[in-house]
Structure 1
């Protein structure tokens, strides 16, 4: 039997994760600087100075601690099934941040990690509740679709970690929505997991949004983005696998659940679909690196700061979900799907018209780095004149 949640439990888990992350990130920065494990800028980087990475290491042990105390809050021992996948992605993310792994190695690790979750019966998706007339689905299809959904979300979240604050802000928005949904459906284990990771992301945001010259600046790295994406993918699968009785307490039609899930993840999913399409159209691997992401366009083309671009995208995510929940309470999935497709097409065209070619981007980056170097030389000359 599940425990009833008291008002102080959410506060305890959120504050505990926040304090743990906030106090340990400075220690991680010192170790990274001492061992010279800094992230060096290259021709597609958004930063111009060497910056510590591995900030996501703090997410890992905060979540492990939380899972230890949460093991009595679940009927199907879900907490135990989180740990192997988190550990695999932590090790792979850590190695990728230090040595750089191939995308396919990370992909294999992700598939292994999601299998632990899919093997737990509490995540089994038995029905789509009338989504486009689909009700019962066979178990083999659940494994195929479930693995595809989880791996897509993990990679999509990993790919939006390209400018300061974006992955954390989008993650905070998504986790607030999921915490609310699971509170309304009385799935308290997932409420507390959402709040734990949210505490980590909010604490991390303070360091991630520091200026490039700040000694406290740090990146989440693949270590953090893979772990956060993994948790978000688990929450999504759980949302899709809730029973019909649980859905009755939510403010939207049951058959619209898959579309609501897409709307919650609209930012990472749209950006990934758009970037993969561009790369394949240019006859390149979908995993090849470039600066064609939505956030890069806002920063490079519109000259918006990282912080402003991150808050604009995060704000869009929140507003989009709110509108979809309102529409999903009355509109059937055909009209809701039409609105979603129309929105994606309009946004895709909006970013397409800027002729955002890779060569133009490289020229802009070279010019920006020349300006930065010129400024640094100017500062050094002024300092010498003063003395």
Structure 2
């Protein structure tokens, strides 16, 4: 493979996304398809959404140009799945769909992927002494993995920059993995998605209100879908492919969990809280980790996103180092210890929706008093 080919996929996706998003912003503003803030929103002004629409056609073009690199004609299976999630995400951003409607769409999209032999998990390669996996178990495991990742990623898209930064970290790791294993189709897919996210991040973190945009469900469903595909392929690699990776083959499932630690931990945490409160696990609230960092520690969206993204990167690096010499027991112990510590820290304070709502009301009243004080000061001065 020529060295410039991966660069072309990354640069092409970046340029397409970078120059398309301003057009989407203008269109969304003209048609008044803005995201209105509600009581649990982290933004206070109407903001354009649908930024993820620019990801869709960049990925479709990448699949067209990379189709010959796939061993099992994977691009043909990805296109219908991407299209289903693009349509359902677009409709949800415009009309708001029920979680169960989105789940049905996700099942349909996933069915195209797990029917391709490239994504069949034949063995766990000795993880917890599990070797061969029956076909029906493979379908159940694969479907569950993809469904979990898509929804976990969708749920972390709650503040500026977070979903994009976490996605960039995950995709950098997968780009390195598929480069080392010579799985170039998935390398191109990772780089294309990363190019889209890096270009999008420039607008998502923009201070200028006329340039700011959210990826919306249109984007988060697509990115989650791509990350779930890459994760499934990582778990389905043939044993000889793992020889080029810097960790023991039996640690692969734990490495996959560590790569996705941020969305998986956050989803498990909020689902536990909601079920404990006898609510639907899909009911909205401000119990996410990123909301807690903002509401309780009074830091900006950007800082919260940097902190969480940096944690994801450092954690994966440490787990890979540990996985290069340690067997399952130590890695499991490390993962469990980390989750327990994080769980303790984030459950120690009262993060109930009622308490958060009360604190937000107090904060808004303080802001209103400050604003009135400033107006009176300027009035007296004049």
TM beyond 0.5: yes
Sort the TM-score into its range (normalised by shorter chain): over 0.9
- The answer on 1:77 being equivalent to 2:87 is no
1:318 is the counterpart of 2:313: yes
Question: Which position in structure 2 is the counterpart of 1:205?
Answer: 201
Q: Deviations over 1:287-335 (max 9, x none)?
A: 0000000001100001111000001000000000000001001111122
Alignment of 1:166-185 (within 5 A): 166-185=162-181
Name the counterpart of 2:328: 333
Q: Over aligned residues, Cα RMSD in angstroms?
A: 1.6
Does the aligned pair in 2 maintain the 1:43–1:366 contact within 8 Å? no
Q: 1:157 aligned to 116, 141, 153, which one?
A: 153
Output the CA distance in 2 between the equivalents of 1:81 and 1:168: 25
User: CA, structure 1 residues 99+371, in 2 after alignment: closer, same or farther (shift >3 Å)?
Assistant: farther
| Correspondence for 1:13 among 9, 16, 30 | 9
Task: Give the structure 1 partner of residue 292 of structure 2.
Answer: 297
Q: Distance in 2 between matches of 1:326 and 1:351?
A: 27
Contact kept, 8 Å, 1:44 with 1:365, in 2: the verdict is: no
1:241 to 226, 236, 241: 236
1:336: Cα distance to partner? 0.7
Q: Note closer, same or farther for the CA distance 1:377–1:202 as it changes in structure 2 (3 Å cut).
A: farther
Deviations 1:274-299 (A, max 9, x none): 11011111111100000000001100
Instruction: State the number of aligned residues.
Output: 382
Unaligned regions of 5+ residues in structure 2, if any?
none
> 74, 89, 105: which is aligned to 2:85?
89
**Aligned partners of 1:67, 1:274: CA distance in 2, in Å?**
35
* Alignment partner, residue 252 of structure 2: 257
Partners of 1:128 and 1:135 within 8 A in 2: yes
Deviation at 1:6, TM superposition (A): 1.2
How far is 1:372 from its partner? 4.8
The answer (yes or no) to whether the contact 1:10–1:192 under 8 Å persists in 2 is yes
Return the alpha-carbon distance in structure 2 between the equivalents of residues 337 and 309 of structure 1. Answer: 27
Q: SS of 1:307's equivalent? A: helix
Task: List gaps (5 residues or longer) in structure 1.
Answer: none
Which residue does the alignment assign to 2:282?
287
Q: Name the TM-score, length of structure 1 as normaliser.
A: 0.96
Aligned equivalent of 1:101:
97
Q: Contact between 1:171 and 1:228, CA under 8 Å: does it hold in 2?
A: yes
* Shift in CA distance, 366/328, structure 1 to aligned 2, threshold 3 Å: same
